[in-house]
Amino acid sequence: MRFLQVSDLHLDRPFTGITKASPAFEKAVMAENKRSFAEIIQLALDKKVQLVLFCGDTFHSPHLPLATQSFFIAGLNQLAEKNIQVVITFGNHDYYTKERFLLPLPENVHLFTKEEVEVKSFTFEDEIIEVAGFSYNHPTLPINMGEKFPKKGKNFRIGIYHGEEKLKGVYAPFQKKQLASLNYDYWALGHIHVPEVLSFAPPIIYPGTPVGHTKKETQVKGVVLGEVMKGKEVKFSFLPVSQINYTSLTIRLGQNPKEFLNHITGELNQLSPQWHILSLTLTGENLDEEFTTSFLKGELAEFLKGELKKNYPKLYLQELKLLDHGKEKIYLPIEKELLVPYEKLYQEREVFQDFFPEFSAYKELRALLVDEEFKKDVLKDVFNTMNEDFSFKEEDKWNF
């Protein structure tokens, strides 16, 4: 028996940080969410799987536009024609409500709809396969759902779990040892966007998001193909589905900054022939002042964007950084550890919001002030910049 594990697809999620891209690039970005889902359906057909598992956050929002529903269900109908069964659980982004689907689902689709663990049974090749799982009915689920799963019996059993490996948390926190103790044959995880194998025996696997949508999602492996071997062991592999990648690239400049374009193009030529949203870091020592000035004024970024449009239509420069390792740091006569409590202080919502008083006047910007990911990104950039530009009494490593 073969199955496909899909998690955190986030259909309809926008790609962040893209403005004034080439028409071809914008067209590719607009089509990528649907294209990648169509690729998943085709993989299921090509690999002749019997079961497809959607492990939460298939959609980016609890509200599903009718166009998205129609497109999604059309794909499920393709699987139904080949008698491929589909199991869907709902996560914190697409948490389940009774009004979720306005259009009818095909009979091959089986939903987990409760914040309670249920077990569904299937028969493939005269063998009973059980799937245990639950869904979110709210944006958070601060319960260790691992305590709710029943131990397996004699049948092969897959557990679906959308949550975070933590002692405590708001997204169904669990412990790996706890899941392993239930003797399930496979755990199909969701929620974490980075692919990770928590255990090989039994397999406990986060496939990660199949499609990266932000500059933090550079580790994308796709979906997981599982095959139940004799002896009921599961052989698994990652299969890529995305054609757009968030890519981070660091290029060291030579002694002559006028040759920077040669250094950059040499590295870009090594990239895979896919679409790349690029975060580029240029490094060097004692860089020419004119070169540094052109960077600070934004001239270098605009020039490189123009060059990419002309010569690399599948690349989009989202972010450009310049690090001069020969630059003397500004000395602060304090110990670095004194700043650690401030980093924790700024995590407080009220304190963080005080940094952006002008945001409160705009609805779209107000939402950022309560976005935990936005807050983490801002604070990380601030403290990383201080670490790069200042020296302290004790130069211990400082990580945030």
DSSP 68-122: HHHHHHHHHHHHHHTT-EEEEE--SSS---TTS-SSPPPTTEEE--SSS-EEEEE
Model confidence at 55: pLDDT above 80? yes
pLDDT in tens, 228-280: 988 789 999 999 999 999 998 888 887 666 777 888 888 888 888 889 999 99
Decide if 93 contacts 60 (C-beta within 8 A).
Answer: yes
Confidence at residue 396, expressed as pLDDT on a 0 to 100 scale: 41
277-289 average pLDDT score? 85
Q: Report whether pLDDT(60) > 80.
A: yes
Longest dimension (CA), the chain: 74
Tens digits of per-residue pLDDT, 319-345? 999 887 665 555 566 676 767 776 676
Distance CA 305, CA 167 (A): 45
Q: For residue 100, give the nearest of 135, 64, 138, 137 by alpha carbon.
A: 64
Under the banding of pLDDT at 50, 70 and 90, the label for residue 355 is: low
Q: Residues 85-101: what's their mean pLDDT?
A: 94
Residue 391, pLDDT above cutoff 90: no
pLDDT confidence bin for 13, thresholds 50/70/90: very high
pLDDT at 341: 73
Checking if the pLDDT of 302 tops 60, the result is yes
Write down the pLDDT at residue 400. 35
Q: Which of 364, 298, 254 is nearest to 306 (CA)?
A: 298
User: In this predicted structure, what is the pLDDT of residue 399?
Assistant: 38
User: What confidence score (pLDDT) does residue 113 get?
Assistant: 96
Tokens of 388: 């790069």
CA dihedral 295, 301, 307, 313 (to 10 degrees): 150
DSSP character string of 263-317:
HHHHHHTTS-SSEEEEEEEEEESS--HHHHHHHHTTHHHHHHHHHHHHH-TTEEE
Q: What is the DSSP string of 367-392?
A: HHHT-HHHHHHHHHHHHHHHHHHEE-
User: Confidence class of residue 388 from pLDDT cuts 50, 70 and 90?
Assistant: low
Q: Quote the CA–CA distance of 103 and 74 in Å, as a whole number.
A: 11
pLDDT of res. 395: 46
pLDDT of residue 330: 57
What average pLDDT does the structure give for the chain?
A: 87
What pLDDT was estimated at residue 322? 87
pTM, rounded to two decimals: 0.79
The helix/strand/coil state of 66 is helix
Q: Is residue 359 very low, low, confident or very high in pLDDT (cuts 50, 70, 90)?
A: low
Q: Which strand ranges, in their side-by-side order, compose the sheet holding 85-89?
A: 109-111, 85-89, 51-55, 2-6, 223-228, 234-239
**Which pair of structure tokens corresponds to residue 56?**
């939460």
User: How many CB atoms are located within 10 Å of the residue 115 CB?
Assistant: 18
Nearest Cα to Cα of residue 5 among 205, 182, 290, 277: 205
Task: Tell me: pLDDT of 398 over 50.
Answer: no
Q: Is 357 exposed, middle or buried, given 0-12, 13-18 or 19+ CB atoms closer than 10 A?
A: exposed
